[in-house]
Amino acid sequence: MPIFPGHLPTKSCQVSFEQSLILVLLALLIGGGVLIFFLSQKLNKTSLENRKAAELLNQLEQKTDSLRLESLESKLNPHLFKNILNSIQSHAYQTYFALDKLANVLDYILYESRQKYVSPKEEIDFALNLIEINKIKLSPLFELSVKTKIQDNDPLYRSKILAPLISIDLIENAFKHADLQSGDSFIRIILELKEGVFSILVSNKVTGKPTLHKANSGLGAETLDQRLNILYKGRYTLDRFKEGEVFLAQLKIDLNGKGA
């Protein structure tokens, strides 16, 4: 049968068209899948880059905060360093001052104390130096009061009529039995020379802490009593007593040869 134009394609032609259409659709699907894969990869890469950028930004912020903190610390550290230097300087001066006083005390003990008598002026100067040395042990809040009542024109002030180291026991006992780190504790010392009578009055608040008793404890007080009795028998008084929490010790010596 002859084929005329306008006739429908044969079955084989239809099969070929359908196969072509399927191939085109399959190609589109594969292309779409590849495109989706590449887009997904691109998104993953972009997401990774964004995370890295966020981490980098976080690191930069931390670095900035660290640099800001270092900048603040660099401003504070010089002040701290200066305060430390001031503190060291203060202690160094205090130490130098104490060593200077210690040198005076050692000179007095090594040389002046070998004499049977010294002047009241020399003994008072020794007592003041001894007090200054002991001040190093005190709390800043500790109350230490030292007064001298001297008649400078008294002819006995510079006369060698007083036994050396006569004041050491009363002063040392005050620093020994007071709580030197307590803000409500105190030591009060009055050194006086009036009308030829040398006197020293020492009072201190007794610590509530137990005192460590040594083998030679009390030897200084016993020695002082013996010396006074030998040198100034009938011309001195030495009183030690306690009033509440306050211990007082007072020594008076009549340097005129009259009864104290």
Q: Which pLDDT value is given to residue 45?
A: 73
Rounded distance, CA 237 to CA 258, Å?
12
Largest Cα separation within the chain, whole Å, is 175
> What's the CATH architecture for 118-209+217-254?
2-Layer Sandwich (3.30)
Q: What is the C-alpha end-to-end distance of the chain, expressed in Å?
A: 170
Alpha helices (H) in the chain, listed in sequence order:
11-110, 120-134, 168-177, 219-231
DSSP summary character for residue 214: P
Alpha helices (H) in 111-207, listed in sequence order:
120-134, 168-177
Q: Which pLDDT value is given to residue 160?
A: 94
Rounded distance, CA 188 to CA 202, Å?
6
Distance from the Cα of residue 82 to its chain's centroid: 15
Q: Which pLDDT value is given to residue 197?
A: 94
Which residue positions in the chain have pLDDT lower than 70?
1-21, 23-29, 31-35, 38-39, 50, 53, 57, 60-93, 208-220, 257-260
Q: Which pLDDT value is given to residue 237?
A: 96
Domains of the chain, by residue range, sit at: 24-110, 118-209+217-254
Q: Which pLDDT value is given to residue 192?
A: 96
Give residue-wise pLDDT tens across range 63-102.
Answer: 665 555 455 445 544 554 565 456 556 566 677 777 788 8
Rounded distance, CA 70 to CA 77, Å?
10
Place of tokens 């006995």: 156
Specify the pTM.
0.62
C-alpha closest to that of 123 among 113, 114, 134: 113
Rounded distance, CA 234 to CA 237, Å?
8
